[in-house]
Every structure is written in structure tokens, then in C-alpha cells.
Amino acid sequence: MKILFFTLMTTVFTMGCANGNSQRTPSLITNDENSTHQQAEMKKTNKSKSTDIYFAGGCFWGTEHFFKQIRGVLTTEVGYANGKLSKAPSYEQVSTGNTGFAETVKVTYNPQLIDLNQLLDLYFKIIDPTSLNKQGNDRGTQYRTGIYYVNETEKPLIDRAIATLAAQYSKPIVVEVLPLKNFYKAEEYHQAYLDKNPQGYCHISPALFEIARKANPVKQKGFKKPSQADLRKQLTPNNTPLPKKALPSAHLPMLITTSSAKVFMWILPPANPSLSLPISSNQAVAGQVSLNLLIKNS
């Protein structure tokens, strides 16, 4: 049951089909950070490398907002899928439940950043796959669950995911898996609705949005040990490497002599003893020793 609230001047317009109690989305849930990384990924992703999949999961406001949080999802668009009409229906027509259309989210994603299996697993978290024509407080054929694919090679993968899901339930799974027959973009006020109306109705628990944000984190790049040649390039003319054979044992005092002072220093060799320890060769001024010890960790 969705309730659209629009305030224009002093008039409040209410639109949508709503029955029962509506759950509000906390105002702290924003999509600014995710929108930023989506835009950055879109710039880096060649359109030919992106893939589309269509998910029906009850009210499309919450379903879209959920998928917008996932790293690897490039764009989302809400609309009406697999209906009986040959032209775009209105929201009011779909709300009657007689058009055969399902409220659906078109998800465009980068398969190099996230794969279809991951998206399916996340989708299953926000639906009751055993509930026919009902999700949350929303009832009607337009609120049925479904996965609509455009690539026939994806069907076996989706079927396996459904079979795995079925093993977790005693009731039959009613999520329909079909090729996409048609899809019409919904009215503009439905697009990114919860971004524009943070307090708007949503049938999905706010905690699930946080799960979506954390589901596909950026992989940290491993540390690459610099080569001896690279390390030597970092040496300045006043820094000379200590020969490997001269490396002292860990935590043993080492006597360093200059022309004007004798100094004992504790030197802890790096974890990799094959690296040299560059030590400043500058002479110390009498009474003022200043040794520049540069240790490069491996």
C-alpha cells in the first residue's frame, strides 16, 4: 500500500493505492554516497559491458531503493512488466490489478563488479517468496514477485537459485521466472521515489538497506613489495645504504662513528633482512649528533 504525498503551495495531493498501515522510511536513509559511486562507475563502464535484469518484488519504491544501494548496480528504473497491454499503462490502470502488469525494477549492473548470483541472493532477502500476489501490506497481482530476464543463458542460473531457495522453505516458491515480454517505464514521480521522499511509504525494513550497502564492498588492493631498484631510486645523494652483511642483529646496539662524535643507536632491521637500511652519511656537528635513519618496511 503506497501513499504518495505531494505538497504544492498549501494543497496536499494524495495518489497511489494504499490499504493498511504504511511504514515510513527513516529520514536518515539517503542515497547521496551511493549515487556518487554509481555515477563514477557509469563513467568507467562501457555500456556494452553492462547487463539488465528485471525484479518484481511488491511496491517498486522500496525495491528500487534497495538495489540502488548495491555497489555494482549502475542504474535503476521502475516500471510495469509482462502485462497484457501493447502500450504503456498508467499507474491507475495497473492499480486495478486487471492489466497483468507487475510493478518491476529494471536493474542495470556491471557484471565485472557484481554478478547475477549476488543480485539474486540480495533480492531474496527483501521478498517473501511463498506469498502470492502480496508483499508487506501490498496486495494484488501487480505486487507479485518475479524475475524477468532478457538473456536466455541466464535462466538455468536463475532456476538453480530458485531451487536452492526452495530447499529453505516448506511452502512452495511462487516467484515467477520468465523472459521479459514487455516493460514500460513508470511515471516520473515514481522514479527514485524514496530518494525524493525519504519519509515515504516503504514495505522493506530499513535494516535491509544497510545490508545492501555492505553486501559488495570494494576489494582492498594488496601491498606490492617494491623492488631493490625502486628502493634505490628513493635514496638521496646524502643517504647511502648499509651493506647487507653489515646488518646488525635485532635489538643489538650498533656503534656509529662520525668525525666529531661517537653514538650508540638501537637499530631494528626490517622484517625482510634482504633490504638495505639507508643511513645518512652526513657528519655530525660536535655536541649535536643528527643521524637520519631511514627504514623502508617491506
Q: What is the C-alpha separation between 123 and 136, in angstroms, rounded?
A: 15
Q: Are 186 and 79 in contact (CB under 8 A)?
A: yes
Q: What is the C-alpha separation between 57 and 171, in angstroms, rounded?
A: 18
Helix, strand and coil percent figures for the chain, each rounded to 5: 30, 25, 50
Sign (positive or negative) of CA dihedral 174, 144, 129, 212? positive
Q: What is the DSSP letter of 15?
A: E
- Residue of 1, 17, 56, 59 marked catalytic: 59
Ramachandran category for residue 136: left, alpha or beta (phi over 0 → left; psi -120 to 50 → alpha) = left
Q: What is the C-alpha separation between 176 and 147, in angstroms, rounded?
A: 6
Quote the cell numbers at residue 237: 645523494
Q: What is the C-alpha separation between 258 and 11, in angstroms, rounded?
A: 86
Place of cell 539488465: 52
Quote the cell numbers at residue 231: 628502493
Beta bridge partners of 280: 239
Measured torsion, CA atoms of residues 147, 62, 185, 151, in degrees rounded to the nearest 10? -20
Q: What is the C-alpha separation between 180 and 5, in angstroms, rounded?
A: 31
Q: Is 17 labeled as catalytic in the residue annotation? A: no
Residues with active-site annotation: 59
